[in-house]
Amino acid sequence: MSDDSKPGLRSQQWFGGKGPKGFVHRSWVRSRGVPGDHFDGRPVIGICNTWSELTPCNSHFRELAQHVREGILEAGGVPMEFPVTSPGETLTRPTAMLLRNLCSMDVEETLRANPIDGVVLMMGCDKTTPALLMGAASVNLPAIGVSAGPMLNGSWRGKPFGIRDAWHLGDDVRGGRATLADVEEAESCINRSHGVCNVMGTASTMAAIVEALGLSLPNNATIPAVDARRKVLARLTGRRIVEMVREGQTMDRVLTRQAFENAVRVNAAIGGSTNAVIHLTAVARRMEVPLDITDWDELARDIPTLLNIQPSGSYLMQDFHEAGGLPVIIRDLCEAGLLHGDAITATGKSLAENNAAARCLNPDVIWSVARPFKSHSGIAVLKGNLCPQGAVIKPSAADPRLLRHRGPAVVFADQEDLLTRVDDPALEITADSVMVLKNCGPRGFPGMPELGMMPIPAKLLAAGVKDIVRISDARMSGTSFGAVVLHVSPEAAAGGALAVVRDGDMIELDVAARRLDLLIPAAELEQRLADWHAPAPKAGRGYVKLYVDTVNQAHDGCDLDFLVGMTGSEVPANQH
Ligand code: FES
Ligand code: MG
């Protein structure tokens, strides 16, 4: 602490000084029209905002932040809103995943560098949630989330229309069953408001995880983006973070091993996105809480799917909220002894207390542990000579007949090769083949695109094939489905066995046994790997070079290796 400051809150090291340094800090903030009593030792609360017109899902955050601000003021705090880079899923190229870690660095360094005592994290579109959690975790101030909330239900020609339906429409066009005019009409009927995708994709999965971790007020995951109740939630969150600072409730008090276990289990019960495996692992690594890829399988094996929502079911996010929202699922799992109900949350109360009053209002949307929507759920973690560090599959989204399958590989060297040949009538492929896509991992693409749900070749589609085994080092969208094996680790570009799979090699998938194997002799695999040469690096400078040089593999959360862990919130030296 500098000699020009007084003890107490962190922000007082800027604003509490009686000498010239305190003068500088206060007088420049006064330029915004702030009264002098804002510097009297009240908690200064950052509002970390991912608003951007380049991230349509978060485009209501300027207004929503005003409601957070009102709550902070009501509770006697001082709001300080600031922007961070906003990796939007739909527009960012090559991938928003590539920028997730950049955003996390922005969050971390901005928090530590400034007079902030606690922070409200405004996050919505897929990567904005893990990025803000990761950055904030490495600083470990009191933190609480406000999510974007889902957009209104899509509706087209009198029927609900979600992103899964849009994927099907794409297949219908390629199969000659729908026209481009149909597509144009559907385009303006699917996203009827701001907010995140209206299915249980990655964004809503991550919002549910925030709520399950206890890092938000109840109902944060599901209140629609445009619903007045989200404004109230934002305001109450603003009030609560001020209390959290007064109580010294830093992030590590909430993000315990128990909280992560709860999140993994809730993810299974909601049929959450496979992307959650990577993101939550990265957050846990920042928080220095052990969480292994196999935990996803072991912790969630006895959790049934309770939620009938796309892509695993048929309803949309608005229906989920109107049926009672995530609190219903949390209460049910707590009562069945499947969660750590005593985990302390951002409210200061336990997870069980927060959700004790939840009631299910539509049992066709939210089923129960006693009467589950699907008896199996979650994410299976595979091991084998093709993925010694792991790979994942979402069995509930796959054709059950393919969960045990042996077939010959049809190999695509990269995305371009896939797009060039997949619809070629001369492609030698049958419904029993195993499609293999290489060089789409974190380092290889770079940025691990959502290409794992490879398109089914046109000639198989025409023959009525709806699912086929697909294997890659890519991710897939939380809205995708199929017998799709993802996150193969190590990736091809890092010299994983995936790099040396050849056309015609037999591959065996056995989800019940949690195995994925390339059926060639061990000596031959070894020889092929010895003969393999790493591809030329994809970038020679800039952030992308930093990313490619330092990114961890999928099973480790794809963080940059030097960002793992926390530094804390100690105030850096003063420049003045
Ligand atoms: Fe932003 Fe789906 S694209 S939430
Ligand atoms: Mg997505």
pLDDT for 202 beyond 50: yes
Q: Quick check: 112 and 567 in contact, CB under 8 A?
A: yes
126 lines ligand 1 (CB under 6 A): yes
Give 452-487 pLDDT, tens digit per residue: 999 999 999 999 999 999 999 999 987 788 999 999
What does the domain layout of the chain look like in residue ranges? 42-153+192-355, 380-535
Q: Quick check: 182 and 161 in contact, CB under 8 A?
A: no
Nearest to 161 by CA among 180, 187, 184: 187
Supply the mean pLDDT for the chain: 95
Q: Of all residues in the chain, what percent carry a pLDDT higher than 70?
A: 98
pLDDT value for 397: 80
Interatomic CA distance for residues 168 and 151, integer angstroms: 20
pLDDT for 5 beyond 70: no
Domain 42-153+192-355, CATH among 2.60.40.3950, 3.40.30.10, 3.40.50.2300, 3.30.450.20: 3.40.50.2300
pLDDT value for 4: 43
Ligand number, closest to the Cα atom of 279: 2
pLDDT value for 2: 42
572 or 89, which is more confident: 89
Can you state the percent helix, strand and coil of the chain, rounding each to 5? 40, 15, 45
332 lines ligand 1 (CB under 6 A): no
Half-sphere exposure of 436 (CA within 13 A, CB side): 30
Which residue in the block uniquely carries the two structure tokens 């539509």? 362
Ligand 1 mutation pick, 89, 93, 167, 317, max ligand atoms within 8 A of CB:
89
Calculate mean pLDDT across residues 415-440.
Answer: 97
Ligand number, closest to the Cα atom of 194: 1
Check whether the bond before 490 is cis (ω within 30° of 0).
Answer: yes
Give 75-94 pLDDT, tens digit per residue: 999 999 999 999 999 999 99
Asked whether the ipTM of the predicted complex exceeds the cut of 0.95, the reply is no
89 lines ligand 1 (CB under 6 A): yes
Calculate mean pLDDT across residues 512-534.
Answer: 97
**Quick one: which atom of ligand 1 is closest to the CA of 195?**
4
196 lines ligand 1 (CB under 6 A): yes
Residue 3's pLDDT band (cuts 50, 70, 90):
very low
3-state SS, residue 437: strand
pLDDT value for 160: 84
Calculate mean pLDDT across residues 339-346.
Answer: 98
pLDDT value for 6: 43
Give 496-511 pLDDT, tens digit per residue: 999 999 999 999 999 9
pLDDT value for 7: 53
Ligand number, closest to the Cα atom of 311: 2
> Closest residue (by CA) to atom 3 of ligand 1?
89
Question: Which CATH homologous superfamily contains domain 380-535?
Answer: IlvD/EDD C-terminal domain-like (3.50.30.80)
pLDDT value for 537: 84
- Could you tell me which residues come within 8 angstroms of residue 99 by beta carbon, excluding any fewer than 6 positions away? 85, 87, 92, 127, 131, 447
- The model's pTM is 0.95
> Closest residue (by CA) to atom 2 of ligand 1?
197
CA of 232 to the centre of ligand 1 (A): 23
CA of 88 to the centre of ligand 2 (A): 10
> For the residues of 165-198, what is the DSSP string, one character each?
HHHHHHHHHHTTSS-HHHHHHHHHHH--SSSB-S
Give 7-40 pLDDT, tens digit per residue: 589 999 999 998 888 999 999 999 999 999 999 9
pLDDT value for 222: 98
> Closest residue (by CA) to atom 1 of ligand 1?
125
